[in-house]
Amino acid sequence: MIRRVRYTLLHTYVFTKMLMPHWPWLIGLPLSMAFIVFLNKTAGIAIPYIDWVWMDIIGEGGLALFMVTWMLIVLATREPGFITNWMAFGFLCLCASSFQDMLDEIYVLPDAVSWDKWIESAPVGLVSLVIGLILWYREQRQLKKYLNKRSGVLQNDLALHEDSFLPQWSALAKAVQDVPAHQPTLVVLRVAPEVRSQPPLSMQDQSKLRFLIAEMLLWNSPDSSQVFQLTGEGYALLSAAPVSQEQINDVVLLLRSMRFRGKGHKQATLLEVKSRTLIFENALSDSELRSKVQEIQSDLAMTCDGIQNSQSIVNVHVV
């Protein structure tokens, strides 16, 4: 019971924290509702409590509450911006429409009053929300293009590395077992910041660097390959079909050309990149694969592959 309460409080805190950048809408929402109540109270006559139609009050008030909930969810999942503002304004107007519709069951307004009809009709809210959804659709199309390379990694795998968001060893072992038996290629990489002339990177900088390396590998590795994170400095590329060594060398050289400036560093940090290629002729068990990869990682920690240009050939092992 205590664990469930703590879990609820933690996620409530996180949700509230995500809403903080949208404080103008959080202030405007209750002020708008209070202003509508003020208008109805000053211009109308209160209906006796016994004559309230509770079915209408619950239904229309519940709809207004749902509008508020949807608005808060949208705000919590988006950054401030004009698309967010269109959607939030649309939900706010629709909430005001349902709220005014509910107040009609509590206050009777004179026939000369017309502003309540405009609030209830909600043309502004509907148009604003439609505009926001159209802009959101266009935004999602752009994001889909950008995340197309990432989508295969992020879907159907919850055990992702916390820094790089790449699948880890369990996913690699399963992918090796599932790959067709026509000599799959596994490239083991060791990518570490060069610290001989620079102070060590902070934990935050190391996390940021791992994410950048993962992006570089995803966007520049062969299309047929999958990218995995083995350890903090260990990565792997798995391809179901043989990959030309020139393609692998290009990826290594591209990583070597990267420069990363840590917080407080006067100069950019270089990357030491080492690689080893495995071509599987026979199926390996999980323990055999783990032993072979650990052996290669240990070897890469002490040796260099010696790539100087895109035409040079690194060591290739057939297992």
- CA distances (Å), 110 to each of 40, 41, 87, in order? 10, 12, 33
**88 pLDDT above the threshold of 90:** yes
Q: What share of the chain is helix, strand, coil (3-state, %, to 5)?
A: 60, 15, 30
Query: Of all residues in the chain, what percent carry a pLDDT higher than 70?
Result: 87
pLDDT band at 319 (very low <50, low <70, confident <90, very high): very low
What is the C-alpha separation between 173 and 293, in angstroms, rounded? 11
Q: How far apart are CA 287 and CA 138, in angstroms?
A: 47
Cβ(292)–Cβ(278) below 8 Å: yes
Pairing of strands 271-279, 316-318: parallel
pLDDT of residue 71: 92
| 89 confidence band (pLDDT: 50, 70, 90) | very high
Q: How many CB atoms lie within 10 A of CB 289?
A: 20
Six token digits for residue 252: 């290594």
Question: Which residues are CB-contacts of 181 (< 8 A; sequence separation ≥ 6)?
Answer: 283
pLDDT of amino acid 303: 63
pLDDT given at position 85 = 93
Which of 231, 102, 84, 95 is closest to 172 using CA atoms? 231
- What is the average pLDDT value for the chain, to the nearest integer? 81
CA distance 59 to 172: 52
Dig out the tokens for 17 from the structure.
Answer: 């924290």
Max avg pLDDT among 34-48, 111-125, 237-251, 305-319: 34-48
Q: Of 162, 159, 163, which Cα lies nearest the Cα of 173?
A: 159
Q: How far is CA 229 from CA 89, 194, 210, 284, 303, in A?
A: 43, 19, 9, 20, 20
Position 305 scores a pLDDT of: 46
Whether the predicted pLDDT of 282 surpasses 80 = no
Cβ distance 228 to 236 under 8 Å? Answer: yes
Q: DSSP code of 105? A: T
Look at residue 307 in the predicted model and tell me its pLDDT. Answer: 45
Q: Over the stretch 206-258, which tens digit does the pLDDT of each residue have?
A: 888 888 888 888 888 877 788 888 888 888 888 877 777 788 888 888 888 88
- Residue 196: what pLDDT? 65
Helix, strand, or coil here: 192? strand
CB count within 10 Å of CB 127 equals 14
Query: Would you place residue 68 in the very low, low, confident or very high pLDDT band (cuts 50, 70, 90)?
Result: very high
Phi first, then psi: what are they for 16, rounded to 5°? -65, -40
Cα-flanking dihedrals φ and ψ of residue 41, to 5°? -70, -35
- Asked whether the predicted pLDDT for residue 132 surpasses 90, the reply is yes
- Provide the pLDDT confidence category of residue 157 given band limits of 50, 70 and 90: low
Which residues are CB-contacts of 182 (< 8 A; sequence separation ≥ 6)?
Answer: 240, 241
pLDDT of residue 212: 87
